[in-house]
Every structure is written in structure tokens, then in C-alpha cells.
Copies of this chain bind each other. A is one copy, B any other.
Amino acid sequence: MKPYAELTKDELEVLIKNLKKEYSEYQALGLSLDMSRGKPCKEQLDLSMGIMDALFSTSDLYCDDGTDCRNYGTLTGIPEAKVLLGDMMENNPDDIIIYGNSSLNVMYDTVSRAYTHGIMGNTPWCKLDRVRFLCPSPGYDRHFAITEYFGIGMIPVGMTPEGPDMEFIEQMVSEHEEIKGIWCVPKYSNPQGYSYSDETVRRFARLKPAAKDFRIFWDNAYGMHHLYDTRQDHLIEILAECKRAGNPDLVYKFASTSKITFPGSGIASLATSPNNMKDIMAQMRIQTIGHDKVNQLRHVRFFEDIHGMVEHMTKHADIIRPKFEMVEEILEQNLGGLGIATWTKPNGGYFIGFDTLPGCAKKVVSRAKKAGVIMTKAGATWPYGKDPWDTNIRIAPTYPSKNDLEIAAKLFTLCVKLVSAEKLYKEMD
């Protein structure tokens, strides 16, 4: 088929009529499908059921250093878990704190602590007239929700396949002392699946922020989440790069096993410099006596070591790769060459980034919903839920079954075609 832009008004009219007929047929099916959240599917969860057998009533629940994991104490996590997550994060175990079940909660705490007590002796953000964050966009809605909740102004930053617009970032942080942070998902980014290039990471490590308490919030959520054995993105390790650049305290790095074992029952972690660590500890020892060490030990016993985790991740990939490929195929078959949409083909992560013609994303999501297919809310990938061009839609292919996903993806492409044709038709008036 020809690109839609080359169609005459009459051709568009016929097209719209046909697409509407097709759409009614989908509506008649009474679908109820969900492509909205980055949730693992049942088969992925089943992969980790062995972790339920990692510890028994007859198990030794002591750490190598003699700590009884069942009792109080060990604020920053058991040594074995630090080694495992150190290998996972490519960080020194000494630079890691193991938390509870949610890295999102750790990020919330990190912002909240800066707000109430400041970072390393600087003025608490609650005492400042204005605090702002840079937000590479599209990005992760839950990041933006945290900064919005604390009244922190959010400035969108453009994204490219190499990472965010570094020139803009360098200029903004060096000129504005009220810019205190930036949200990053540096590998297999949410939602596009982009990984920051070597140059991008090097420039991040060499930022010269006006604010002494500026920090990079480096959410490496998908560090291990490759889709392919050989087509794997590599990311320069940011803590090491910051250290080499003479900026050791510039970054807070987050990770978790949420999409490795069980979301909600995994372990989360933060890696940072000794100075930041000391600053965090002053709060952490007030906040808790310690996190769930038994669950830390359970993870260590299940994986044994990083190789065990890597092998485990290939099983995840085997389940979700066909889903990504199927969606990509349907997008190509149904939308390829029409000039009405672009989308990403990530090597890992949980999402495909999708862009419609300007002004179409909301309508597409609404159309899909009316036919029983839930997508992530249009706009959600932008600060304040406001996509300035109304183009971006996040596709999350992991959770539905392959059959459901096929129907959902086909309906989705139909909605894209219909909304685009209507837009072009209207513009001819």
C-alpha cells in the first residue's frame, strides 16, 4: 500500500470506511486484553518457582560470616547478597546497599531524604524555593510521579537512540543551580529500549553541575534483561566512569531482581560512592533495623552465583523474545511503508517505543480501549502526563499470552491506521 500522505481525499474516505468496518468487527469480539504494564507473564514467573525450594525448615539460615539471617540486624544487607548483586550491577560489593523488595521505593526514599535532610550537608530541598529535575522523555511514568509528588519541577529532555540530548543537559546543569537531578534508564530504556552510547555515559560522568547536590538517578532496571544471546547492548559502568572522571559522588545507581525472580518479592539495591553511602546510612539507621535477610539468602541460594542468574535470564528471553518479534512483525506488516508511525526494535528490556503522527496517540489509545485493549495511557511517558506532540505510546508485550498479544497488536495497528487516516482526511478540509 501507498504511504497515507499520498492518498487522495476519496481514497482516504474509502479507506476510513473499510477500517471502521474492520474495527466494528473487533469490537464485536468483546476483547479484554492488557498491553499496558511491564509485567512478566505467568510462564516467566514459573521460571523462578525453584526459589521457593531454596530454603527449607531444615536449612542452615546462617551467612558465611555467622550472621543468623532470621534475627535483627545487618543494616546494609548480607555479604553474599552484596556479592551476587555486585556482579549483577558490575559494582564492588562494598559500594552496595541491599534494600527490601522495591527499587522504586528506594528511589522514592532517595528523593524524600534529599527533600527532608539534603544531600551531603547541602540545604534540604524542602527549604529551597525551587528544585528541578531533568527528565529524558519519553521516560518512566513512575519516576515522574515521584518528582511531581515532591513538587519538583520537571524539564523534558529529548531522547535519541544514543541516549538523551547531552548538549542540553550539560548546559542546563552547569547554568542552573536549582537543577538537582536527572532520571535515567540507561539500558534498554523505558519505553524505547534505547541504551546509552559510550559517549553519552562518558559525558554524564563529566557533567559539571552548578549544584553540589546534583545527582544522576541511574535506574539500571534492565541491566540483565537481554532479548538475544548475541545482540546485546553494553553500557559503560557509571560509578567507575564517574570515579575516573573525578566525579565519584555524582550518581545513585538503582537495580533490583523484580523482573528476574518475582516482582514484589525480589531484592532491590543501590550502588554509590563511599561519601554518598555514609550520607545515606545516617538516615537508614533511623529508618529501619534492617531489610529481609532471609529473602536475600533465598536469592543467593537459588542463583548460587552470577552465572546462574545469567542462565536464568536466557530462559526469560526465550519466553518474551517471540512476543517482541511477533509484535514487531505485525507492526511492520500492517504499518510498514505507510508513513504514519515509527517504532523501536530493542535488544532487551520490557517495551517497544511507538510514535504516531502528531496528535494521534491519545486517540489511538482511546480507540483501542473502546475495543477492549488497554494500552499504557498516552502521555504517561512524559512529565505531568503531557506529551507535547501527542505521539508516544508505550507497548508492553510481555504479559499477555502470545495469542492475546497477536489480537491486541493487530487491533492496535488498525487503530493507528484509522486514527491516522481520519487525521489526514480532516486536514484536507
Measuring CB to CB, which residues of chain A are less than 8 angstroms from any residue of chain B? 37, 39-40, 42, 45, 48-53, 55-59, 61, 68-73, 100-102, 104-105, 108, 112, 115-117, 124, 126-127, 142, 145-146, 149-150, 258, 262-265, 283, 286-295
Besides A101-B292, A116-B126, 20 more A-B contacts (Cβ < 8 Å) are A37-B72, A49-B57, A51-B57, A52-B57, A53-B56, A72-B258, A104-B287, A108-B287, A108-B288, A112-B112, A112-B116, A117-B149, A124-B126, A149-B286, A264-B290, A264-B292, A264-B294, A265-B292, A265-B293, A265-B294
Pick from A71, A102, A112, A294 the residue with the most CB of B within 10 Å.
A71
Q: Shortest CB–CB separation between residue A38 and chain B, in angstroms? A: 9
Q: Are B45's CB and A56's CB within 8 A?
A: no
Neighbouring B residues of A57 by C-beta, 8 Å: 49-53
Q: Are B295's CB and A146's CB within 8 A?
A: no
Q: Can you report 26 A-B residue pairs in the complex whose CB atoms are below 8 A from each other?
A: A37-B72, A39-B71, A39-B72, A50-B57, A52-B55, A52-B57, A52-B61, A69-B265, A70-B265, A71-B263, A71-B264, A72-B263, A72-B264, A100-B292, A104-B289, A108-B287, A108-B288, A126-B126, A126-B127, A145-B286, A262-B294, A263-B289, A264-B289, A264-B291, A265-B292, A292-B292
CA distance A124 to B151 in the complex (A): 12
CA distance A299 to B149 in the complex (A): 33
CA distance A37 to B72 in the complex (A): 10
Q: Are A101's CB and B104's CB within 8 A?
A: no
Question: Out of B116, B126, B262, B291, which one reaches A101, CB within 8 Å?
Answer: B291
Q: A45-B71, A72-B37, A293-B264 are in contact. Are A104 and B52 (CB under 8 A)?
A: no
Q: Are B101's CB and A71's CB within 8 A?
A: no
The chain B residue with its CB closest to the CB of A108 is B287
Q: How many copies does the complex hold?
A: 2
Q: Are B100's CB and A101's CB within 8 A?
A: yes
Q: Shortest CB–CB separation between residue A213 and chain B, in angstroms? A: 17
Q: Are B265's CB and A295's CB within 8 A?
A: yes
CA distance A4 to B72 in the complex (A): 40
Neighbouring B residues of A49 by C-beta, 8 Å: 57-58
CA distance A105 to B146 in the complex (A): 19
Q: Shortest CB–CB separation between residue A346 and chain B, in angstroms? A: 21
Neighbouring B residues of A53 by C-beta, 8 Å: 56-57
Q: Shortest CB–CB separation between residue A35 and chain B, in angstroms? A: 15
Q: Are A264's CB and B73's CB within 8 A?
A: yes
Q: Are B52's CB and A262's CB within 8 A?
A: no
CA distance A201 to B312 in the complex (A): 54
Question: Out of B70, B145, B265, which one reaches A45, CB within 8 Å?
Answer: B70
Pick from A51, A55, A142, A288 the residue with the most CB of B within 10 Å.
A288
CA distance A295 to B102 in the complex (A): 14
Neighbouring B residues of A124 by C-beta, 8 Å: 126
CA distance A149 to B113 in the complex (A): 11
Q: Are B68's CB and A45's CB within 8 A?
A: yes
CA distance A37 to B289 in the complex (A): 12
Q: Shortest CB–CB separation between residue A314 and chain B, in angstroms? A: 20
The chain B residue with its CB closest to the CB of A148 is B286
Question: Out of B51, B69, B105, B292, which one reaches A287, CB within 8 Å?
Answer: B105
Q: Shortest CB–CB separation between residue A48 and chain B, in angstroms? A: 8
Q: Shortest CB–CB separation between residue A384 and chain B, in angstroms? A: 14
The chain B residue with its CB closest to the CB of A48 is B70
Q: Shortest CB–CB separation between residue A294 and chain B, in angstroms? A: 4
Neighbouring B residues of A48 by C-beta, 8 Å: 70
Neighbouring B residues of A258 by C-beta, 8 Å: 72
Q: Are B37's CB and A150's CB within 8 A?
A: no
CA distance A145 to B284 in the complex (A): 11
